[in-house]
Amino acid sequence: AQSVTQPDIHITVSEGASLELRCNYSYGATPYLFWYVQSPGQGLQLLLKYFSGDTLVQGIKGFEAEFKRSQSSFNLRKPSVHWSDAAEYFCAVGARGNQGGKLIFGQGTELSVKP
Amino acid sequence: EAGVTQFPSHSVIEKGQTVTLRCDPISGHDNLYWYRRVMGKEIKFLLHFVKESKQDESGMPNNRFLAERTGGTYSTLKVQPAELEDSGVYFCASSRNRVTTEAFFGQGTRLTVV
């Protein structure tokens, strides 16, 4: 069955420290891959997406993610975390072609940033 | 350009009552999606409209849920009668094309059934 796993429910990092949020997926073929962020009181905002090509993708707010086919992973990284990055982060996959449309989400990772 | 708008932002109803959630997508977006997040769980797909037609409703939990998109503009999601397990946050999203373009999400409607 298609699924997305974010193994870390909650992560706390210090401001200025680096960040890596893990995401693994189970899918029949290479899906489209996404990272979304939800800040308190806000909707989901797209950080970045991978469709094809370069496996290292750059997103907004200084985030990047690397697609590793051999590991079925799409981990999100940021070299230096800011207090405003505290939010919940969701990894998602979407089908290609005519099956496209719906997204399958992971459970989310809540990020806390300490001063 | 206005984003995806959802009404109401919060709703508290009693078990057995009816609730209707509304979603106004971004103008010109043919694709409209409903998702739900039950507390502590992942965000789950409910259904997908292309214009006024239901493209995929495989995620609808049961026949107490009815989604409509008359005229291919705004959409409503009605829960009748509501049960305790229906509590959660209901998200709406829209996109111009399918997954190859960004899906924009609304802030969600937090539904609490007591």
Q: Residue A36: list chain B partners with CB under 8 A.
A: 105
Using a CB–CB cutoff of 8 Å, tell me whether A86 touches chain B: no
Q: Which residues of B touch A105 (CB under 8 A)?
A: 35, 42-44
In the predicted model, what is the mean pLDDT of residues B49-67? 94
- pLDDT computed for residue A27 by the predictor: 86
Closest Cα in chain A, distance from residue B10 (Å): 11
3-state DSSP of chain B:
CCCCEEECCEEEECCCCCEEEEEECCCCCCEEEEEEECCCCCEEEEEEEECCEEEECCCCCCCCEEEECHHHCCEEEEECCCCHHHCEEEEEEEECCCCCCCCEECCCEEEEEC
Average pLDDT, chain B: 93
- CA-nearest residue to B50 within chain A is A101
Q: What is the mean pLDDT of residues A58-74?
A: 95
Strand pairing category for B43-50 and B65-68 = unpaired
Summarised one tens digit per residue, pLDDT across range B31-50 is 999 999 998 789 999 999 99
Q: Judged by CB atoms within 8 Å, which residues 30-59 of A form the interface with B?
A: 32, 36, 41-46, 49, 51
pLDDT of B18 > 60? The answer is: yes
The whole-number pLDDT of residue B88 equals 97
Going by pLDDT thresholds of 50, 70 and 90, the confidence category of residue A80 is very high
**B26 CA: distance to closest CA in chain A (Å):** 14
Residue A60's identity, in one-letter code, is: I
Q: Which of A20-29, A73-82, B91-100 has the highest mean pLDDT?
A: A73-82
Tell if the CB–CB gap between A100 and B100 is shorter than 8 Å. yes
Average pLDDT, chain A: 92
Residue from the list B3, B31, B105 with its beta carbon closest to the beta carbon of A101:
B31
